[in-house]
Every structure is written in structure tokens, then in C-alpha cells.
Structure 1
Amino acid sequence: MSAPSMAAALAASLPAPAAAATPAAPTYEAIPPSMSTAIDVEAEIPLTCVQLDALVVSKIIQHSQDSPSGSAHGLLLGLDLEGTLEVSNSFPLPNHTNDDDEKVSKSLARYQTSMLRSLREVQGDDNVVGFYQATSLGAFYSQSLIDTQAIHQERLRHGGVVIVHDVSQTARGTASFRAFKLTPSFIDVYKKSNFSASSLVHHRLTFSSILEEVPLRIRTNPLLSSFLNVLAAPSSASPYTSAHLGSPATSAIPPSYSALDLGNSGLARNLEQVAEGIDNYRTEEGNVAYASRQIAREKLRLETHLAKRREENAQRVSQGLNPLPEEDVSRMFKIPPDPSRLDSLLLLGQLDAYAKTLESAAGLGLAKMYAARAGHTT
């Protein structure tokens, strides 16, 4: 599904901004002093942390594993309380491959509305606080993610967040979850739809300042923690079976030997992504350079005609005639706007993510190989 269709569907399902009209004489019940900091009606408390429930973590991991090519995405539900965005539930969004963006947008909007209505009927959390997106090798910069997060920050009370889950890290035994928001400087440029070079320099905007990371923590309830401890702890064998058969104590969760894996299987794929990202960036820079040359050529033609018009007007003035207007010459040429640098920024963000993932994987792999070699020689 393309970026405009997904953004349009989310815009249709999210609540519209509240109307400015208010009753003539509103009356409100006083908030107790003990709850004055917890109830943030006007969204004055800044968002300082995102708290993921263990149920949400398991749902996102399962959805990412079941989805093809790591294209899983969905909505996050919860509540913001005292500057902490508590995400208590989530549900996946269907991944449409149809080329008809309008039909996909309407279908996705109906699905989201139906899911939120069903959650409301069973007294579940139906307050949208953001969305999650699965990615691979840490490269999550995309036009779709930017457009969707921009809609959330415009419509949701605290702006909402995007949770990025790295599928490649989970495959190595490490569940990677990060929370992000768009920076105010990028929102300012995004609303003006001006990503020219001069605008980026004026706002000091680079690929690293598009998103700002929000601290994230995962919460497990006592019941789940107790259950996991029971599964991980060795089971106490019966004294009769242990005495006669000598059966060792085992746990329900088998031991993991992923730490002993040298982890070199993904390096080739990572290098391919880096090379492909460099090629895409060079292609985009070539397109920007071509557009810049076209603009410079049109400006030169305009300046040439204006110079001729000024010479002609000087001759007319010397002959006592009225000068001709220069606006007629300006209307003959349509100078195209400066090329957008947003795609270049996103490609640089992807390249940076690929390079950092490659650095981490290669460094850990080298350490394991030296350790294995040292253990083999001894």
C-alpha cells in the first residue's frame, strides 16, 4: 500500500479536532489535588516516556513474524498519564497489495473503525496513541512512516508515537523496540512542503533531526512474570524417579545457544543493502542535479531576455517613448521550484541505519571468531 493511501485511511479513522465552540456557562467538577498531575486534560505535561505492555510486545513480534518481508504495521491503543504514554493494546492492519489507492484507503478506514467499535463494545482500550512498524536492519526511514506520523502528531492529543520493531534483531535473539516522534523543526518544514536546500539550511535539518527518540520501557504484570519464572525454572523431579532413574531436572523453556552462533549469515545481506542504498542515493542526487541544471538554464534565459528588454527600454527612453513593461518577459518563463531534498534525507537515514547495523554485527562477529579461535587453540 502506498504512503498516501495509508495516511488517508488513518486520517479518516482518527478523531477529528475538537470544535472551538463551547457552552456559554460551562461548569466543571473540581479535580482533587492528588489527581491534578495525573489528569492532563489540556495536554500540558510533555511526553517523557513510552511504556509498552508485555501483551503488546508479543502481539507485535507475532505479527512481524507472520507478515511477509517484514511489512507488518498496526495501531497502538492506550492512555497518556503524567507524561508517560502507556500502550496497553494493539491490533494489526491488513497489508493490501491492490494498486487502487482509493479502494484500499476506504477499506482500511472501515476496518479500523470496525475494530475500534468492537473494542469499545467489550470495554477495551480504544484510544489511539500511535502506530507500530516492522523494519529490517534498522532502516525505518520511509515516506509512508513520515506521512502517517505527521497525521498522528496533528490529530492526537500528545501527538502519538511510532514504535519501530527490528525483525532482524529479533531473529538474532534480541527484541528491538524503539519509540520516535517527529521533531518540531521537521514538522514546520513538512507543513510548508518546502524541502529545498535553502529551507533545510535555514531549519538546520538533517536526516538525524527528522525524528527524535522517546525513552521506552516494557512492563510485565506479576502474573506473567511468575508464569515465565515457572517455565524457566527447573522442575523438581519426584524423589522416586530421581533416585532410581537419575533423571535431571529440566525446564519448560529449552536453553538457547544463540549466543554461540558466530552470526555471519546476515552480513552478506547487510552489505547488499548498503550497496543498494548507495546506488539509490546516487540516483536521487543525479535527479536533483538534473533538476537544478534545468532551473539554472531557465533562469539564464529569463535574465537574457530581461537584459534585452532593458536595452530596448533604454533606446525607447532616449527616443522619447514609454518603456515597455518587464513583467511580460517574466510571464513568458515559468521557473520550476527548487527540487525537494526529502528523498535524499530519507535515503541517508536508511544508509546510516544499514551502516550502524553492519558495524554492530561485524564487531560482535569478529569478537566471537577471535574467542572461538582462542578456545580452539587452547
Structure 2
Amino acid sequence: MAATPSMAAALAASLPAPQTAPTPAAPTYEAIPASMSKVIDIEADIPVTSVQLDGLVVSKIIKHSREAQGSNAHGLLLGLDIDGTLEINNSFALPHHFTDDDDKSIKGVARYQASMLRSLKEVQVDDSVVGFYQAMTLGSFYTQSLVETQALHQDKLRHGGIVIVHDISQTARGNASFRAFRLTKAFLDAYKRNNFSTDSLIDHRLTFSSIVEEIPLRIRTNPLLSSFLETLSAPAPMPSVDIKPTTATSTAAIPPSFSVLNLGSGNISRNMEQIVDALDSYRTEEGNLAYLQRQIAREKVKAEGYIAKRKEENASRVAQGLAPLPEEDVNRLFKIPAEPSRLESMLLLGRIDAYSKSLEGTSSAGLVKMYAAKGSAGA
């Protein structure tokens, strides 16, 4: 059965093919200094150990996430790897696809991606794809599409690429959340083998917590943006001489925000709903796996019974001096299903864990605020 096209395939359609360093000719020029050899890293021998996100990229991702109104915001990251640091200098949004089965939509996204990269190259802007970003809510980002896209990136990009996840719910509470991840080697090996059976999970020591590994991330702002933010947060003096001196310098360009005092009780109910939905999905998935396991067990019992019966018949024929019956292919006689994949169960467990941690953080902060409010009221 042919595999249906996925969004991951669309994103990978215009990615550059993995480059292999050609065999260099005999050097007829001065050798590269040792101090510059690590920075240049022609053969991509230095692994990426940190990610640097430009302030412009942060603002573009936040803007796109707000306009998309949900976790549909996703796009490509552009930058360069220097001395083990992946510097992300630019990004652009990708149009949202409605269904993975819509072939026209997938081809449209691929054409748009190729056109954007070609346009950036024409204006001499960095057009090297180093990963993608994905918006999420309540800390949960474990999805099949994210895993497929990141697996393709790690297979085709120079240093494997990373995924930046942006938590919309945290940003709405005034805490911009950006985290960088990549798939672990053990998970990527199991994914390439397309084997997520019980034995494979045990051999690779895979759990939902070992699907991805987090990479340290820092945000860099250029001096111009830092100066602009400084002017916004500094007191703005009033030009009028009629205003009292005490109020002339007390007005700030950015008004004070009291959002941190919000208990966030509205997010708790939504968080609980997400946990219940994830638990229901996990219970359904486990029920399907149990049904398939019982079906496999029944077919194996039939096959073992057939083999035992054939051995008894051959022993009886040999005792009578007759030739034994030929052995037949049991897999052809009995259609024993392959062991089902447990990838979806792992992703659902990761989702439940993320929702639970988000609920823990929201409720603990809310309790502290409630006790502080109670103490202030008593005073």
C-alpha cells in the first residue's frame, strides 16, 4: 500500500540535499590557521551544543502565533552554525495546511517554500535552512507531524537541524517561552527502522521522555533594538512647564502591567480538559493495542498447533516407513499480523506529562498569589 503524502514531505521537498565534502586537491596556498579551523568547520565535525535566537526572529514567531490563533503557526528557521552554536538570524512563516491528504495543499506549501528561499537568495539574505518552529499550547508538542518533519531535517540538513517550540499560553501570561529540541539518536534509529515494537523500545531504552533532547537556547538582541527597548522603559519627561515637577518625570512610555497578579484560573479548567482528552485518547490507543495483541496471540496458537500436528503426522509416517510430508510456510498459511507500533502511545504519554507539568506550574503559582492576596487583605 502506497504511503500517503505528509506535511513533513512537503517541508522537505525544497530542502538542500546532504552535502558531502569533496576530496580536496593538494594545497597550493597557506593553510588555515588553527584558531580559525573550528569556526569554519567545513566538514561539519563540530556538534551543535547551543542555539542563539535573534530578537527579530522572536518577534516574528510571536506575531505569527498570535495571527494564527492556535498551534497552527509553523515556519522555517534560517541561520548558520559557527563553532558549535546554531545562530538563527531569520525566519518566515509557512501557510497552514488543512489536511495531510490534500495533495494540492502540500504541493502549494512546497512551492511557496521554494519561492521564499529563492527570493531570499536573490536579495543576498541568509537562505540556509537550519530547522523549523512550531507553536504549541500548555507545553505539549508531541505530535506525529513534528516528529516526521524533524526526522527529515536531521537526515538532510548539515547539522541535523532543530525545532523551536513556542508556548502560546505562557506568552499570554507575559512569559515568552522558547525551547529548542532535536530527536535523540536512539529514537532516530528506531524511527529509521520503522520499528516501535516492545522489543525495539526495550533495546533502544525508549520512553516518552527520551524522544527528544533539549538544547540550551539564548536570545540575542542587537544594540539598536536594545536601545529602543531602553527608551520605551525609561521615564518620559513632560515638555509642559505647567505640570508639577513631581509628575513631570513619573509618566513612563510603557504603562505598568498587572498581568503577573492574575491567578490564571481560566487556564486551569482548559488544562484539565486537555489532560482528560489525552487520557481518553491514550486509553483508546491502549485498547486497540490490546486487541491486536490478542489477535496475534490467537494466530500464533493456530500456527503452533498446525506445526505440532504436522510433526506428529510425519513421525507416524516415518514409523510406517512412509516419506514425511513436506514442511509448508506457516506465515503463508496463517496471516500473523505484525506487532503494532507503540509510537502513538509514547507521544500521548508525552502529551499527558506536558499538560500535567503545565498544570502543576499554574496551580502552584496561583496558590502563592492567593496566599499573598489573603495576607494583604488581612493586613
Say whether the fold is shared (TM-score over 0.5).
yes
Residue 231 in structure 1 maps to residue 232 in structure 2: yes
Deviation readout 1:209-239 (Å, 9 max, x if unpaired)? 0000000000011111111010111112337
2:18 equivalent to 1:17: yes
* Aligned-residue offset at 1:37: 1.4
**C-alpha displacement at 1:101, in angstroms?**
3.1
**CA distance in structure 2 between the partners assigned to 1:348 and 1:141 by the alignment:** 9
Tell me the residue number matched to 2:346: 345
User: Letter of the aligned partner of 2:201 in structure 1?
Assistant: L
Q: Does the aligned pair in 2 maintain the 1:3–1:143 contact within 8 Å?
A: no
> Cα–Cα, structure 1 residues 342 and 252, in superposed 2: closer, same or farther, change >3 Å?
same
Instruction: Find the counterpart in structure 1 of residue 318 from structure 2.
Output: 317
For residues 63 and 214 of structure 1, the distance between their equivalents in structure 2, rounded to whole angstroms, comes to 23
Q: Does the CA contact (< 8 Å) of 1:137 and 1:166 recur in 2?
A: yes
Residue 108 of structure 2 aligns with which residue?
107
Name the structure 1 match of 2:271: 270
For residue 330 of structure 1, report the CA deviation from its aligned partner.
Answer: 4.3
AA partner of residue 345 (structure 2)? S
Deviation at 1:325, TM superposition (A): 2.2
1:220 is aligned to 221
Q: Name the aligned partner's letter for residue 88 of structure 1.
A: N
In the alignment, does 2:293 pair up with 1:287? no
Q: Is the 8 A contact 1:3 1:147 kept in 2?
A: no
What are the residue-to-residue correspondences of 1:90-169 with 2, within 5 Å? 90-97=91-98, 100-169=101-170
Distance in 2 (CA, whole Å) between partners of 1:3 and 1:251 is 56
The residue identity in structure 2 corresponding to 1:193 is N
Structure 2: how far apart are the matches of 1:376 and 1:28?
Answer: 80
C-alpha root-mean-square deviation of aligned residues, in Å? 1.9
Secondary structure of residue in 1 paired with 2:89: strand
Residue 331 of structure 1 corresponds to 332
Aligned AA (1:84): T
2:362 maps to amino acid = A
Deviation at 1:5, TM superposition (A): 2.3
Q: 1:257: Cα distance to partner?
A: 0.6
CA distance in 2, matches of 1:97, 1:327: 49
Q: Give, in whole Å, the separation in 1 of the partners of 2:24 and 2:33.
A: 25
Unaligned runs of 5+ in 2: none
Segment drifting more, 23-32 vs 47-56: 23-32
TM normalised by structure 2 equals: 0.95
**Deviation sequence 1:29-68 (CA, Å, 0-9, x none):** 5323331110111111111100000000000000000003
- Does residue 205 (structure 1) correspond to residue 206 (structure 2)? The answer is yes
The structural deviation recorded for 1:10 is 1.7
Counterpart amino acid of residue 274 in structure 1: I
Q: Distance in 2 between matches of 1:363 and 1:268?
A: 15
Q: 1:40 is aligned with what amino acid?
A: D
Letter in 2 for 1:375: S
Structure 1: state its 5+ residue gaps. Answer: none
| CA distance in 2: counterparts of 1:94 and 1:185, whole angstroms | 32
Correspondence for 1:377: 378
Per-residue CA distance 1:333-365 (angstroms, 9 max, x = gap)? 121111100000000000000000000000000
Kept after mapping to 2: 8 A contact 1:75/1:132: yes
Kindly provide the amino acid, as one letter, of the partner of residue 169 in structure 1. Q
For residues 214 and 244 of structure 1, what CA distance do their matches in structure 2 show?
Answer: 50
- From the superposition, tell whether residues 34 and 99 of structure 1 become closer, same or farther in structure 2 (CA, over 3 Å): closer
1:178 paired to 2:179: yes
Letter aligned with residue 210 of structure 1:
I
Question: How far, CA to CA, are the matches of 1:210 and 1:109 in structure 2?
Answer: 27
Q: If the length of structure 1 is used for normalisation, what is the TM-score?
A: 0.95
Q: Secondary structure at the match of 1:13?
A: coil
Q: Percent identity?
A: 63
Inter-CA distance 152–299: structure 2 relative to 1 (3 Å threshold): same
SS in 1 for 2:124: coil
Does the CA contact (< 8 Å) of 2:7 and 2:100 recur in 1?
Answer: no
What residue number does 2:59 align with? 58
C-alpha distance in structure 2 between counterparts of 1:338 and 1:28, whole Å: 59
The one-letter amino acid paired with 1:41 is I
SS in structure 2 at match of 1:317: helix
